[in-house]
Structure 1
Amino acid sequence: MKAEIINIGDELLTGQVINTNASYIGRKLSEIGISVERVVSVGDVEEAIIDELKRAYENFDVVILTGGLGPTHDDVTKGAVCKFFNTELVLNEEVLNQVREFLARRGRTELNEANKSQALVPAKAKVIMNYWGTAPGLLFEEGEKYVIVMPGVPKEMMGMMESFVINYLAQKSGGKVIKQRILKTTGIPEAYLYERLKDVVEEIEKFCKVAFLPSVIGVKIRITVKAQDRAVADELINEAEVKIRKKIDKYIYGVDDEEIEEVIGRLLVERGLKIAVAESCTGGLIADRITNVPGSSRYFERGVVAYSNEAKVQILGVPEDLIKEHGAVSRQVAEAMAEGVRRISGADIGISTTGIAGPTGATPNKPIGLVWIGYSDKDGAFAREFRFGDDRLENKQRASQMALEILRRKLLGIEI
């Protein structure tokens, strides 16, 4: 089966909102053997929606639309699909009760006309219940054509996909299973990564497809396989992963949606260790990422943003003479910051960052992008130098990523 995804909303065209819905839906459809061959963003214009729906309906087996199902005047998707399928809106009591219950859980007992309008659905559509919002999803099935309409709010759309759409379409597709796995790497540029994997990629592409996806914090390696059933797909994708790991395992920190802060959280819990962080150039970003993980209070003792030299001296106990002699952005100060935050917190591990994020502050010997990352534990302290680039925000992201990567490698006993 072939599919088109139509994402609706002026905000998508103007760049105010990033279209994450398309990537999620595309991935989920691929997993059940449905090939997404076209993704289109359309504004909140009824005629434009109808035109694109007509084109998609003529060329694809499955059409999925998201967005424009709300109760306001600029939500025109429901009217567009009514015109396309030549049907009228009717009141659905089940949806009305669901809307009433949803609002009651939020302390709102009275429904206004806008709320009630959410229960008006096309007569020819099957309702997909929305337990995460008020706008129901819609399913139109004519012959071997399937049109599914869902809200644009990611949480609501994902809920409908997981609770109904994926299983429904999997039963209809009956095609090959398409399975993907993402191996997340950091600390090695794309070109160097490919050089190490070139022979392996040539070998495994006999039964799968490999893609390299670079970003600010690392390179994702996407493995895609097609097979007759899930068991064979799993076997092939596992074989590809094993071959890749034999070459670059030290750089792989996570799989699929796994984030590096989740990985180090598990490692710290397993080892019964606590960590404290002293940040200068990253401004609290490392602490923010660590505490994004539920349960991080079990291993995260504290975070200190020691941005000024005075803060480094007064809070962390960095010797003032050390800063005068070597400068705040130096190996010696990074080590002293890591040792200081470990000492004052009583944590098992201290990590630190000090650097020149830019666009100002550089000197002939210390350019923009220079960052020292410090590490301290009971066995001693060290610091590593990095030169990330000239973009301030990217420098902060890269520095926080490498600080967490140094921690991961130390916990696993991997060479840094």
Structure 2
Amino acid sequence: MKAYLISIGDELLIGQTINTNVAYIGNALSDINIEVIESSVVGDNLDSILSELSKAASIADLIVITGGLGPTHDDITRSAIVKYFNTELVRNNEVLEDINQFFAKRGRTVTELNASQALVPKIATPIRNKRGTAPGMWIEQKGKIYIVMPGVPFEMKGMMEDFVIPKLSEMTKGNGVVIKKLILQTTGIPESNLFERLGNLDELLQGAQMAFLPSQYGVKLRITVKEKDETLALNRLNEIEQKIRTKVGRYIYARGNETLEEVIGRILADRGLTIAIAESCTGGEVCSRITNVSGSSKYFERGIVTYSNASKVELLKVNEDTLAEFGAVSREVAMQMAEGVRAASGTDIGISTTGILGPTGATTNKPVGLVYIGYCDDKVCTAKKFLFGDDRILNKQRATQAALEMLRRQLLGISDEE
């Protein structure tokens, strides 16, 4: 099955909104052996949408459309579908009930405009929207499948996970080829170093494919295998994974899409440990990521943002002489911050961050991107030096990731020694 992706919205054309939907959908379809042959972006223009639908139908079996399903005047995708298929809109009572419940949960009144979203093309099977008000559409016409979904990413993802992927998976079974993918997430090692450590990839993969997907948080390794059945595919993936772990296992923090904060949370919860965090340069971002995980109250006690020297002294009991001698961005201060937040909170572990994110604040001996991360428990109190880049926001993100990774390694007893 070949797929064509159409993203609709003026905001995508002018760069006001980044089109993350196409990446998500493309990856999800490839996971079930559907080949994406082309994708396009069109504005909120009826003729443009109709033209793109015709083009897509001429070369693809599956046309996936996102965007333009809202209740306002510029949301014209539904009208385009009606005109393209020469059909009409009919009220769907299940969709209307979904809309009523959506507004009731939020203590809001359904307006006539909102209720109009329960009108769907007569030829379409509605795709229920559990996260918003605009239903999706599943249309099968002349041997083609048309899937229409909202452009709001989390609404689209909900429809993909709950309805679209299960239905398409069932339809694509039994084509003689099973494609399986595995994601291994690494951090703390640059892409080039990771590539070198893995050695001869042809020998490692034996016909499988591997993609390196770098970001400011690390490098994802995506391994893809094709086999005659699922058991063979899974066995090959496991074999390749073990070879990779033998070479770079210390840097792999997750299998699949589990986040680093989820990994850490699971370890802390399993061991009954508690943590507190003192942040300077990261401004609370480490705490934010930890508390993104449901159930983090079991192990996260408190976070303190001590941006000024005075706050470090007052709240964390950092020694004024240490600040004067070594400066706020130093190994010594990072250690005292970690020790201070642990003592103040009574937790098992204390973590700290202090650094120069830039573009100002650097000195000859302390450049932009210099960060120290402290760690303290009942047996060890230490700090590690990092040198990141010149971009302030990227430095903050990298420092946050480094702090979480330092915590993971301490918890698992992974040495920094090569």
Quote the residue 1:128 is aligned against: 127
Please, what TM-score do these two structures have when normalized by structure 2?
0.94
1:371, CA displacement in angstroms?
0.9
Distance 1:144 1:170 in 2: 17
Where 2:75 maps in the other structure, the secondary structure is: coil
Report if the CA contact (8 A) 1:30-1:179 is conserved.
no
Distance 1:88 1:198 in 2: 60
C-alpha RMSD of the superposition: 1.7
5+ residue gaps, structure 2, are: none
1:29 is displaced (CA, Å) by 1.4
Tell me which amino acid in the other structure corresponds to 1:397.
Q
What's the offset of the Cα at 1:388?
0.4
| 3-state secondary structure, aligned to 1:82 | helix
Matches within 5 A, 1:17-416: 17-108=17-108, 111-174=110-173, 175=175, 176-199=177-200, 201-416=201-416
Distance 2:227 2:246 in 1: 24
For residues 215 and 195 of structure 1, the distance between their equivalents in structure 2, rounded to whole angstroms, comes to: 18
Provide Cα deviations, 1:260-304, integer angstroms capped at 9, x if missing partner. Answer: 111111111122211111111111111111111111111112111
Unaligned runs of 5+ in 1: none
Aligned residues: 414
Checking the alignment, whether the CA contact within 8 Å between 1:138 and 1:149 is kept in structure 2 is yes
Aligned to 1:3: 3
In 1, Cα distance between the equivalents of 2:401 and 2:47? 46
TM-superposed deviation, 1:158: 2.3
Q: Map Cα deviations across residues 366-389 of structure 1 (whole Å, 9 max, x no partner).
A: 111111111111113111111101
Partners of 1:103 and 1:317 in 2: how far apart?
Answer: 50
Shift of 1:216: 0.9
**Shift of residue 229, structure 1, vs aligned partner:** 3.3
Q: Percent identity?
A: 59
CA distance in 1, matches of 2:402, 2:76: 46
Distance 2:91 2:339 in 1: 66
Deviation at 1:108, TM superposition (A): 4.0
Deviates more, 1:20-29 or 1:350-359: 20-29
The code of the aligned residue for 1:126 comes to T
Q: Report the residue type matching 1:306 in the other structure.
A: T
CA contact 1:207–1:236 (8 Å) conserved in 2: no
Deviations 1:285-331, CA, capped at 9 Å, x for gaps: 11111111111111112111111111111111111111111111111
Question: 1:76: Cα distance to partner?
Answer: 0.5
**Structure 1 stretch displaced more, 172-181 or 54-63:** 172-181
Q: Is the 8 A contact 1:92 1:119 kept in 2?
A: yes
Q: 1:100 to 1:400 in 2, by over 3 A?
A: closer
Contact 1:30 1:177 (C-alpha < 8 Å) held by counterparts:
no
- List structure 1 segments (4+ residues) > 4 angstroms apart after TM superposition: none
User: Would the aligned equivalents of 1:280 and 1:307 in 2 still touch at CA under 8 Å?
Assistant: yes
Do the aligned partners of residues 321 and 105 (structure 1) sit closer, same or farther apart at CA in structure 2, a change above 3 Å counting? closer
Cα distance in 1 for partners of 2:383, 2:98 equals 57
